[in-house]
Structure 1
Amino acid sequence: MIKVIIERHDDHSIRSFEISGHAGSGPYGHDLVCAGVSAVSFGTVNAIYALCQTKLVIEQGKNGGFLRCVVPDDLDQATNEKVQLLLEGMLVSLRTIENDYGKYIQIMEK
């Protein structure tokens, strides 16, 4: 199962997200849930970098199955608002996957 943990600040903005595990919904290399989660999460990280000129603090597992990203604390307000919008969009997409494939992905917020 893929586990997604969203960590929020007191103001409810996203501080970080962590994605770990494998869905196991299909054979390795043909797992549509893993592919969808990877596309959404890496697409969001790349969009933040390209559109906001912002690098998240990233930790990745060597063999896949783990991604943790932290939003820098020193962003100006306008940039942070753009980053937050992209992260909330990612969460909407991940929740859509969870709604259809809840047996393979679980999202938690703290």
Structure 2
Amino acid sequence: MIHAAIYRTESGTIQSFAISGHAFFADRGKDIVCAGVSAVSIGAINAVHAITGVTPIIDQGDDGFLLCSLPEDLPDGINEKVQLLLEGMVISLQTIEEEYGKHIKITFKKQEVE
């Protein structure tokens, strides 16, 4: 199963997200759930960088692990654009979860420090 965790600040803005695991929906190379989650998450990171100029802090590893964190103290106007793009990502992931809930689980967590 793919596990996606969205980390929000106390004020509700997205500060980071982590994705790990495999969907096991189909054989490697034919797994539309894995491909969809990858496309949505990497696409959001690329959109944040291309549209806002913000370079998220990325950590990738084995087993489909992806951690994306935003730099601290973004200017308000830039952060609004970043948040809009990341909220779009969350909606896309939730849409995948609605259809393929046996293969992806999204959780929302509050960060302790804002």
> Aligning the two structures, in what range does the TM-score lie when normalised by the shorter sequence?
over 0.9
The answer for unaligned runs of 5 or more in structure 1 is: none
**Which residue pairs with 1:52 in the alignment?**
52
The answer for unaligned runs of 5 or more in structure 2 is: 110-114
Amino acid in the other structure paired with 1:24: F
Moved >4 Å (runs of 4+): none
State the superposition RMSD in angstroms: 0.7
**Which residue pairs with 1:6 in the alignment?**
6
The reply to whether residue 81 of structure 1 matches residue 80 of structure 2 is yes
> What do the CA deviations read for 1:33-75 (whole angstroms, capped 9, x no partner)?
00000000000000000000000010001x4501000011121
Any residues of structure 2 matched to 1:58-69 within 5 Å, and which? 58-61=58-61, 63=62, 65-69=64-68
Whole-angstrom distance in 2 between the partners of 1:41 and 1:104: 16
Per-residue deviation, 1:26 = 0.2
- TM-score between the two structures when normalised by the length of structure 2: 0.93
The sequence identity of aligned pairs, in percent, is 54
**Which residue pairs with 1:93 in the alignment?**
92
- TM-score between the two structures when normalised by the length of structure 1: 0.97
Whole-angstrom distance in 1 between the partners of 2:57 and 2:42: 13
* Other structure's SS at 1:95 match: helix
The reply to whether residue 28 of structure 1 matches residue 23 of structure 2 is no
How many residues of Structure 1 are paired with residues of Structure 2 in the alignment? 109
